Amino acid sequence: MSRPTQTQPLPDDDDPLNPKVAASALDFLLIELVPLAQRITEQLHAREQALQEEYRRSRTFNQTASKTLVGSQQKKLQDGDGEEGQGAVGVSADGSSAAAGTGGGGDGGVGEGSGVTSLGFPVMSEKTRESVFWRLDGMGYRVGQGLVERFSLHKPRPTTPLDAIKFICKDLWTLVFRKQIDNLKTNHRGVFVLTDTRFHPLSRMSVDRRTGIKGAEEALGRAQTFLYFPCGVIRGALAGMGVEVTVEASSTEIPTATFQIKTKGAKA
Amino acid sequence: MGARSPSIAAIGIIGRHNNPLHIALFPATGEGHEQQRDKLEYSFMLNSSLDIFEARMPSKTVGHDFGLLHALDERLALYGWLTNTGVKLVIVVDMEGRTAPTPEAGKTAILGLRNSDLAPAFQALQTAYIGLLRNPFYIPDEHDPSATKGSGSLAITSTRFINEVDRIGKTWHSGMAVV
């Protein structure tokens, strides 16, 4: 399709007046997103740990070095490098005292045992768990802002927060997850609960029923990480429409997912 | 004396918290009528248009096109457009900004513009802004003073967006269906 008055004919899937989302590409991307966030966080955490280890090691090295140098100082004096040795001791003593002041904060790093689960994904330690969730939420936030700009092009302007939430339930969910939200509850005081009985990213997850209840719980725990990105998308989309919210997601049973949206100053 | 026809004098893109994201100025063209635009003067004009947006906001619940915001004098007029996300697009039109390409166009300067004349320009601007949001290196929160606690409110630096705004400003003329 080409229009003679336009400078560049837009490809069919890039027309901003008729926007489309590549659904299967998005599904694969969402699946990969969680391990990606985990790997990023693990790497950053490992690098931070390495730096802290080095700090600590250099501090202890300086302390032991100063002790040995003091011990061998008499020998060095005889050798003639006494002054250099003394100078070195002085410097290292200062260095160690300076490091002692800042190294106290670096003692928080205990070895994180990063094992691997049966599927080959890195097991998250407690510390990195929070940062992974935060990172996923931040990614979703930026995506949500972009999405709302592009896809609310021809829709009427939302005047109340309820209108904005309705846009999320109907239009945004249809675009990103190919279905609408099944249930929307509100207490009319700023809290909204969105329920999706067959949440798309969770719909294809397997649960190891052989282990009984424990398997279901383990699956829920793993599924929890996949809910943070959609939380961020909702938060970003609402922020784009001018509604500041906090979003929490939970799942009691695969594939149902519940999203709790609280606007600022809401009373539960 | 050649007939003159309207051209865009300035385009302003203002964010949700009334922070200026981008201001582009277009000098008047045509021999004998060339005139540079004063940036400060146009900043003031765009600033004053924000009050009009706020005043009309409660009564205008449907639609994005705010139409003619304010006619400053015989030559300059301000038109506005509000997106769903609260971004305001303001176009200042100079009714005698360029030499008229055809005699009919020359008459527009006397008759005046309709709101629908500027709709293609606003749509092109909105398309450009959406294109900017698809750029992963543009983070809207960095340009939002409330989110960055006063250290932000930077103007947009994406060259592609700036070039696109320049193209819209220069090529628009009344009666264009698509910019």
The residue among A153, A160, A168 with the most chain B CBs within 10 A of its CB, best to mutate, is A153
Domain limits, chain A: 23-107, 126-263
Model confidence over A180-207: pLDDT tens digits? Answer: 888 888 888 888 898 888 887 777 777 7
Distance CA B70, CA B45 (A): 10
Contact B84 A3 (CB under 8 A): no
Helices in chain A by DSSP H: which ranges?
23-71, 73-79, 82-103, 126-151, 161-167, 173-177, 200-203, 213-225, 228-240
Helix ranges (DSSP H) in B57-158 = 103-111, 115-133
Q: Is A29 on the interface with B (CB under 8 A)?
A: no
Indicate if ipTM > 0.85.
Answer: no
Domain boundaries, chain B: 4-171
CB contacts of B82 in chain A (<8 Å) are 157
- Mean pLDDT confidence for A44-73: 73
Contact with chain A for residue B18, Cβ under 8 A:
no
Substitution target from A7, A149, A155, A163 for chain B, most B beta carbons within 10 A: A149
Averaged pLDDT of chain B: 84
Considering only the top CATH level, what class is B4-171? alpha beta
CA geometry: angle A253, A255, A260, nearest 5 deg: 75
Contact between A149 and B16 using a beta-carbon 8 Å cutoff: no
Whether the pLDDT of residue B5 is over 80: the answer is: yes
What pLDDT was estimated at residue A152?
79
State how far the Cα of B149 lies from the Cα of A202, in Å rounded to an integer: 37
B161 touches chain A (CB under 8 A): no
Q: What is the pLDDT of residues A77-109, one digit of tens each?
A: 444 443 443 433 333 333 333 333 333 333 333
Predicted confidence (pLDDT) at residue A41 exceeds the cutoff of 80: yes
Average pLDDT of span B106-119:
77
What digits encode the pLDDT tens for the residues A136-163? Answer: 898 889 989 888 888 777 777 787 888 8
CATH of A126-263 among 1.10.10.10, 3.30.1380.20, 3.40.390.10, 3.30.300.20: 3.30.1380.20
Residue of A nearest to B64 (CA): A157
- Is B105 a residue whose pLDDT tops 80? no
Taking the C-alpha atoms of residue A213 and residue A230, their distance in angstroms, rounded to an integer, is: 26
Q: Flag whether residue A67 sits within 8 Å of chain B, measured between CB atoms.
A: no
User: Residue A24 is which amino acid?
Assistant: S
Q: Which of A104, A257, A78, A79 is CA-nearest to residue A181?
A: A257
In this complex, the residue of A3, A16, A158 whose CB is nearest that of residue B130 is A16
- Report CA Rg, chain B: 16
Greater confidence (B17 vs A127) lies with B17
Which member of B82, B84, B133 has the closest CB to residue A146?
Answer: B133
